[in-house]
Amino acid sequence: MASELVVISGKGGTGKTSIVGALSHLISDKIIVDTDVDASDLHLLLSPKILEEHEFISGHEPVILRDRCTECGLCRELCKWDAIDEDFSVDTISCEGCGVCHYFCPENAIDFVDRICGRWFISETRFGPFLYAHLDPGEENSGKLVTLLRQKAGEVAKEKGVDFIITDGPPGIGCPVIASIGGAKAVLIVTEPTISGIHDFERIVELSHHFRVPPLLCINKSDINLKNRERIIEISKRKGAEFIGEIPFDMTFTDAMVNGKTIMEYAPDSASSLEIKRIWERLSSYL
Amino acid sequence: MLIAVASGKGGTGKTTVATNLALTIGKDVQFLDCDVDEPDAHLFLRPEIERSEVVKVPVPEVDENLCNLCGKCQEICQFKAIVLIADRVLTFHELCHSCGGCFEVCPQRAISEGDRELGIIEEGFADGIRFVHGRLRIGEAMDGPLIREVRKRADDSSITIIAAPPGSSCPVVEAIKGVDFVLLVTEPTPFGLFDLKIVHRVVEILGIPCALVINRADVGDSGVKEYAKEKEIPILLEIPFDRRILELYSEGTALVSAMDSWKERFEELFGKIKKILQGEGNGK
């Protein structure tokens, strides 16, 4: 089975995707995955050529058959999500897909149909195969879509004889993050030396330990607050997250992004690019 | 009046805008931090927490003495949280969505309500601001129900500022559904634009009036402004990139307390939001 490195951050906007882009350029044989399915941005750096496009069907949603419905109101009474409006239309955004309304309707007036929650893609990029997805706006089941993407990535890796997967994870610590990290070889936590970066770093390190995935630490924008930088390093020692490198604040990342490139391509000799190379050297010894 | 601050992409300045707006309004304002995965607003508002409450959701407990292994619970459960295996019914609490289906369907009344801890809600005061946030338990996957609990603390009497989680899926919907106004915060970069479009679509589906704050407005490209123009989203505030702002943020210092000029600009922002809402009220 291919070993997988998942890049996560707790706090959003710390530079996860830019760093995954840069690593994608550096690593030779790998599959690239974006599991931040409700705000997937990595494709903007990788300009993928889509080879396969699939609908993501997950769970079901109720459809009320007007000609059978007697408006008895039992479904509205039983629904825990207030997803059936007064006029007996289904608010699919609120609906959790539990099927209780369908099951208990005395008139059999509620169908329960497949729910299309988004799309997922297998693509080819200048850095190799890339799997990503777009969850539909406001949808549920992000965790299931993440699990599906990772499973497919494993299959593609096996088929191509590739033994490494790099994954751009979502922010937070909830459902899609949990689905992203289980079974990974390690997580690379990209954080920043801000008060919120520190707070969120502590929580994401705990989450990594909770699911028994070794956390590694990269501090981005490391020079914006040196005292906080020290605090993060101190926390990483105390909580058991190996510190493997840091990148000073650098607007070049934004310029590279605007040009649809990774920083390694846009500014290969920049201090940040050289630093990311060193980070990859250290990372590879863990993987 | 409920005003939510949302962003799609993380790290665009949601917390900065939400906390500074609350501090500017000052009194008779309530603040709900609905980013329960990573709640950070308290680091800037520094409330004194007065109450803490554990939030639990009901999950099934099966009484084996009453259960006749009919399998109806397994049949109704869409989440594989209750499963009949050989001569036993097993429950998987972490998969349960608390829909209540199994309790309702069991002909033997063999299923009673146990509970699963989602996290905690803390409430307190920061100067004049009534502060509420939720903190998801580490390892808990379902943030939606905890966000709903935070939202229930909203009082209608005053102005309530809601900080939404990043992204554009169900947690965002839980945080912004039914609010009067959504302030979208983004940065003018390709990532910022892509994520703005998705979260703006969510706001459109929910039919909530919205406007835009552009952070680090002088970096990146013109895509966000072009999109705002095309979609007729008013731009209410532009915050330029300034290393000093970033440094203040890194320490947890609010812009409006450190720089007077920002107090004025946030007052203007609030004025503009009120004006838009009054316009809506008049059936504009």
Range B255-273 average pLDDT:
95
Interchain CB distance below 8 Å, A38 and B79: no
Tally of domains within chain B: 2
B12 → chain A, closest CA residue: A13
Pairing mode of beta strands A186-191, B82-85: unpaired
Give the orientation angle of helix A195-210 with respect to helix A226-239, to 10 degrees.
10
Question: In the predicted model, is pLDDT for residue B137 greater than 50?
Answer: yes
- Here the CATH number for the domain that contains residue B73 is 3.30.70.20
Tokens representing residue A262 in the block? 């990774």
> Which pLDDT score is estimated for A46?
98
> Which pLDDT score is estimated for A1?
82
Residue whose token pair is 């409430």: B123
Half-sphere exposure of A71 (CA within 13 A, CB side): 6
Round the average pLDDT of chain B to a whole number and report it.
95
> Which CB contacts under 8 angstroms, 24+ apart, belong to A202-206?
A202/A235, A202/A239, A203/A10, A203/A173, A203/B37, A203/B38, A203/B138, A204/A8, A204/A9, A204/A10, A204/A173, A204/A177, A205/A235, A205/A236, A205/A239, A205/A240, A205/A241, A206/A239, A206/B138
Range B142-161 average pLDDT:
93
Domain contains B85: yes
Provide the β-strand partners of residue B131.
B31, B124
Domain contains B150: yes
Are B157 and B19 contained in the same domain? yes
Distance CA A128, CA A48 (A): 9
Query: How far out from the chain centre does Cα B171 lie?
Result: 7
Tokens representing residue A38 in the block? 């409700």
Are B24 and B100 contained in the same domain? no
Are B48 and B88 contained in the same domain? no
> Which pLDDT score is estimated for B280?
63
Smallest CA-to-CA distance from B34 within B138, B125, B153 is with B153
Are B87 and B203 contained in the same domain? no
> Which pLDDT score is estimated for B190?
97
Are B100 and B213 contained in the same domain? no
Question: In the predicted model, is pLDDT for residue B284 greater than 50?
Answer: no
Q: Please check whether residue B182 is in contact with residue B4, taking contact to mean a CB–CB distance below 8 angstroms.
A: yes
Residue whose token pair is 């494993």: A154
Band (pLDDT 50/70/90 cuts) for residue B125 is: very high
Question: In the predicted model, is pLDDT for residue B116 greater than 80?
Answer: yes
| Residue in A17, A173, A195 nearest the CB of B38 | A173
Reported as type and span, the H/E element at residue A178 is helix A175-181
Residues from chain A contacting residue B167 (CB–CB below 8 Å): 36, 38-39, 142, 170-172
Question: In the predicted model, is pLDDT for residue B158 greater than 90?
Answer: no
pLDDT digits (tens, 9 = 90+) for A205-234: 999 999 999 999 999 999 999 999 999 999
pLDDT digits (tens, 9 = 90+) for A172-196: 999 999 999 999 999 999 999 999 9
> Domains of chain A (ranges plus CATH)?
3-47+126-286 (3.40.50.300), 60-116 (3.30.70.20)
Are B273 and B223 contained in the same domain? yes
Q: What is the dihedral of CA B181, B246, B132, B196, to 10 degrees?
A: 30
Residues from chain A contacting residue B12 (CB–CB below 8 Å): 12-13
For B194, residues 6+ apart whose C-beta sits below 8 A from its C-beta are A39, A41, A44, B8, B9
Query: How far out from the chain centre does Cα B226 lie?
Result: 27
Please identify every stretch of chain A with a pLDDT value under 70, giving residue numbers as ranges.
Answer: none
Are B231 and B163 contained in the same domain? yes
> Which pLDDT score is estimated for B283?
38
Provide the β-strand partners of residue B237.
B213
Q: How far is A247 from chain B (nearest CA, A)?
A: 16
| Residue in B104, B138, B169 nearest the CB of A38 | B169
A75 → chain B, closest CA residue: B101
Domain contains B7: yes
> Which pLDDT score is estimated for B157?
75
Domain that holds residue B102: 64-109
| Residue in B166, B170, B190 nearest the CB of A171 | B166
> Which pLDDT score is estimated for B27?
84
Interchain CB distance below 8 Å, A139 and B101: no
State whether residue A116 is helix, strand or coil. Answer: strand
Q: How far is B187 from chain A (nearest CA, A)?
A: 10
Interchain CB distance below 8 Å, A137 and B168: yes
